[in-house]
Structure 1
Amino acid sequence: MSDIPSSHAAAEPIKRPTRWHIGIFLLPAFIVYSAVMILPLIETLRLSLFNTVDGQSTFVGLGNFKVLFGDERWAADFWNALKNNFVFFVIHMLVQNPIGVALAAMLSLPKLRFASFYRTAIFLPTLLSFVIVGFIWKLILSPIWGVSPYLMDLVGLKSLFSPWLGKPGSALIAVSLISVWQYVGIPMMLIYAALLNIPEEVVEAAECDGVTGWSQFFKIKLPLILPAIGIISILTFVGNFNAFDLVYTVQGALAGPDKSTDILGTLLYRTFFGFQLQLGDRSMGATIATVMFLIILAGVSLYLFAIQRRMRRYQF
């Protein structure tokens, strides 16, 4: 009879202590994140469904979105800003990220001298304020007091100089390339870290098979860093559709000339806060912000559920 209680006690599961301290440590971060991100997002979504009628806030449902997409004045500015935003994003994808991958590949060469200096010099513009970057490039590209005409004259290309920031056909490309110059260090460092994470055994095996140089990079290393390239692509998408600061610094809130550099961020700024003779409209500003949020959400969801799941990952 004495064995029954002891066996019954041994069969009882051991109760693990409640880790209440985890919740306490996470609580401050959750409160700050909710106050800074979640609550403003909810309020923006709510505000997009209301409008001021006879001095009172009235629920209008999707009326603001119908005005944004269908009204002649609003739709022209919105579709122009959306088109410019896509061009802004495509230039970053086709110029910034390939250059970042190429720079990371060159910096990862074991025989490269002064690699630390090059990494620092390329990444340094990322640390600069967008105000400084915008002001410097406005001075450089100025046809009156800029140094671009002089520098191009030294190499015999002065005839190709043009006031790129002042022409509607080239202003958006010029601003996009300024942004590429400032932020190319981010994809470079992320790809560089991914390349360093490739085991030496894989590289040595490729060299034993006679795969060296750029052929080794494209056939061996590039497939291994595709997940990092995917993350960089989605970060570029989110960053470009949230862009505002550099365009505002270089071209102002009107995103001239003739709104050729107007993107969703500058359109949101003018609509919500107003500018010069234009009065601010909180409801329409929240509507534009909601559309930006939905575009970013759609892009991130497409990457997470359609692209990332099909991307092959290698575990070392």
Structure 2
Amino acid sequence: MTERRPFPWHVAVFLAPAVIVYTAVMIVPLFGTLQLSLFRVVEDVQKFVGLDNFRTLFGDPRWSASFWNALGNNFWFFLIHMIVQNPIGILLAALLSAPRLRFAAFYRSAIFVPTVLSFVVVGFVWKLILSPVWGIAPSMLDAVGLKSLFQPWLGKEGTALTTLALISVWQFVGIPMMLIYAALISIPEEVLEAADMDGITGWSQFWKIKLPMILPSIGIISILTFVGNFNAFDLIYVSQGALAGPNFATDILGTFLYRTFFGFQLQLGDPHMGAAIATAMFAIILVGVSAYLFGIQRRLRRYQ
């Protein structure tokens, strides 16, 4: 008869503080938001309305136009990070992992420094740089004979969102760079030596040997990019304000949620509709993460 193992109480004791804090900060507010989205104030009385707030959000033209505009902008904001930030991060990691590169530690630190800067500092500084009145961008372009290319990028509807996305790329490209760098230097030396013996060197070695081995890390970076961009708010708010100008061209779900929940200028806040928007954001992120975990992640494991 096998002896029963004692319950590992020490594990529960060590996990308890983190579980309590996470529950208080994340789980309880999440369920509170879900509950709030199912109610509405009618004649100063809070009444249960089920999914009516979501029907209003998706079907009422006064709400749906703003929601779909913010959602579309959010997808574009995310797409810019996927096609610009992550490939540049992978390229930088590949360059910095080269064994013969001098001052690699300095380059890594310099590229990573913007990620620790405040959104307020980044947004304010870039508004100063790109300002057509007192910014240094026109004079810098003029110095290389390209002043004719300068435009008020943050003030035009067609370029404001893309400009802010590229500013965000500049700030956070260090994160995928460091994650991919860590994955590259963890590749066993025996694999690389075998590739060298087979004549696979340089960029050919990266594409044929290293890249397939770091695909799981690239997948993690992609899903972190997705979650981070659909939770974005700070940079847009600091640079363009709660109205996400010009003419809501930079409005994303985070700024739309802020205006709806707390109100802004002459618009009164509506916590119940704000909770409905927050719930919709949660559902979008949940679907995206689930698609990655049950779709892409399984294929990556089979590939490995």
TM-score, normalised relative to structure 2: 0.98
- The size of the alignment, in residue pairs, is 304
Counterpart in the other structure of 2:5: 16
Aligned counterpart for 2:112 among listed residues 123, 129, 134: 123
Counterpart in the other structure of 1:47: 36
What is the DSSP-based 3-state SS (H/G/I as helix, E as strand, rest coil) of the residue aligned with 2:47? strand
Counterpart in the other structure of 1:256: 245
Residue 79 (str. 1) matches residue 68 (str. 2):
yes
Unaligned runs of 5+ in 1: 1-11
Counterpart in the other structure of 2:130: 141
Whole-angstrom CA distance in 2 between matches of 1:18 and 1:67: 51
What is the DSSP-based 3-state SS (H/G/I as helix, E as strand, rest coil) of the residue aligned with 1:312? helix
Residue 173 (str. 1) matches residue 162 (str. 2):
yes
Q: Is the Cα–Cα contact under 8 Å of residues 50 and 58 in structure 1 kept in the other structure?
A: yes
What is the DSSP-based 3-state SS (H/G/I as helix, E as strand, rest coil) of the residue aligned with 2:41? strand
Q: Is the Cα–Cα contact under 8 Å of residues 227 and 313 in structure 1 kept in the other structure?
A: no
Letter in 2 for 1:218: W
Counterpart in the other structure of 1:224: 213
Shift of 1:313: 6.8
Shift of 1:21: 2.6
Letter in 1 for 2:99: P
Shift of 1:17: 2.8
Counterpart in the other structure of 1:292: 281
Counterpart in the other structure of 1:233: 222
Letter in 1 for 2:12: G
Change (3 A) 1:143 1:251: same
Whole-angstrom CA distance in 2 between matches of 1:65 and 1:267: 15
Whole-angstrom CA distance in 1 between matches of 2:207 and 2:151: 38
Q: Percent identity?
A: 72
Shift of 1:132: 0.4
Counterpart in the other structure of 2:267: 278
- State how 1:49-128 maps to structure 2 within 5 Å: 49-128=38-117
Counterpart in the other structure of 1:191: 180
Residues 26-82 of structure 1 deviation map (CA, whole Å, 9 limit, x = unaligned): 222111111100000001011111101111111111100010011111011000000
Whole-angstrom CA distance in 1 between matches of 2:12 and 2:72: 45
Residue 200 (str. 1) matches residue 189 (str. 2):
yes
Residue 35 (str. 1) matches residue 24 (str. 2):
yes
Unaligned runs of 5+ in 2: none
Counterpart in the other structure of 2:149: 160
Whole-angstrom CA distance in 2 between matches of 1:220 and 1:168: 44
Shift of 1:211: 1.0
Shift of 1:23: 1.6
Whole-angstrom CA distance in 2 between matches of 1:112 and 1:300: 37
Shift of 1:95: 0.2
Letter in 1 for 2:209: I
Shift of 1:314: 8.4
Q: Is the Cα–Cα contact under 8 Å of residues 224 and 313 in structure 1 kept in the other structure?
A: no
Counterpart in the other structure of 1:245: 234
Q: Is the Cα–Cα contact under 8 Å of residues 224 and 314 in structure 1 kept in the other structure?
A: no
CA RMSD of aligned residues (A): 1.1
Counterpart in the other structure of 2:298: 309
Whole-angstrom CA distance in 1 between matches of 2:279 and 2:202: 48
Return 140-149 or 26-35, whichever deviates more: 26-35
Letter in 1 for 2:190: E
Whole-angstrom CA distance in 1 between matches of 2:189 and 2:47: 65
What is the DSSP-based 3-state SS (H/G/I as helix, E as strand, rest coil) of the residue aligned with 2:40? strand
Aligned counterpart for 2:14 among listed residues 18, 22, 25: 25
Whole-angstrom CA distance in 1 between matches of 2:7 and 2:68: 54
State the 4+ residue runs in structure 1 displaced beyond 6 angstroms: none
- Whichever of the two has the greater Rg, that structure is 1
